[in-house]
Amino acid sequence: MSLIMGDLMVLDRWRWLSNKINNNMNYSDKKVLDVGCGSGAFTIGASSLGYKTLGLSWDNKNQIKALHRAEICKKNASFDILDVRELDKRTDLKESFKYIICTENIEHIIDDDKLMMDMNNCLEKDGILLLTTPNKNLIPVWGDETVLPDPPIEDGGHVRIGYDELDCKEICSRTGFEIISIEYCSGYFSQKITGLFRALSNLNLYFAWLIVLPLRLLPILFDSFIKYPGYSICLVAKKKS
């Protein structure tokens, strides 16, 4: 439901993720860990591609919603409550996953090096991290997204605006990852339509969805042709042997 009715930028991230994990055609023994899974859209989505998936989130309400969605979809997705800052305490997850998904989470964590190293430890040999986070050079979509508390506070909001390519290279170098590619998603139309959707949602969610529905093809058709800063920087990195 969130992929259909939610922000277009969520759909952009799923299109990017699904393209990456769909490249592996031997799913039967492969597992995916979704770190900071929210209400489980990507966890369930990866399960629909044939993977065994586990989603981690600190929020009990989101986990209940995710479990309910998985039951409705009859997917092999499971969910646990865990503050991702304490991922290292889950020693049972060590070297267990082919892929780790981490979307729009790391910018909320002060000790981002620790999170990266903990995710590295959860990957099997040559496992792949698929991470998205706001582009440090983004153009705000809604409100003033570039104003942050000083000093940073882990209260659910951002502790940094985002990352650029140099940041990605440096953090991967420090935490045992080899970069495969750095890409971007959510271009001009996706961002502008998302801003409109969020504004209209303050009036009524279903009204917002109805207005935006006819526009949802525009990003797919035209964003790749328009030079505009992608909202999210998308990292594909492999665990170093």
Phi and psi torsions of 37, nearest 5°: -80, -5
Q: What is the residue extent of each domain of the chain?
A: 2-239
Q: What is the mean pLDDT of residues 131-139?
A: 95
Check residue 156 and give its pLDDT.
86
Report whether CATH 3.40.50.150 matches the domain 2-239.
Answer: yes
Q: Find residue 200's DSSP bridge partners.
A: none
pLDDT-based confidence at residue 148 (cuts at 50, 70, 90): confident
3-class DSSP assignment, residue 37: coil
When comparing pLDDT for 206 and 229, which is higher?
A: 229
Q: What is the mean pLDDT of the chain?
A: 90
When comparing pLDDT for 56 and 76, which is higher?
A: 56
Q: Which amino acid is at 58?
A: W
pLDDT-based confidence at residue 76 (cuts at 50, 70, 90): confident
pTM of the predicted protein model: 0.92
Q: Token digits for 240?
A: 């170093």
**Percent of the chain scoring above 90 in pLDDT:** 68
Neighbours of 228 (CB within 10 A): 15
Q: What is the mean pLDDT of residues 167-173?
A: 98
Give the residue carrying structure tokens 């586990």. 54
Check residue 71 and give its pLDDT.
77
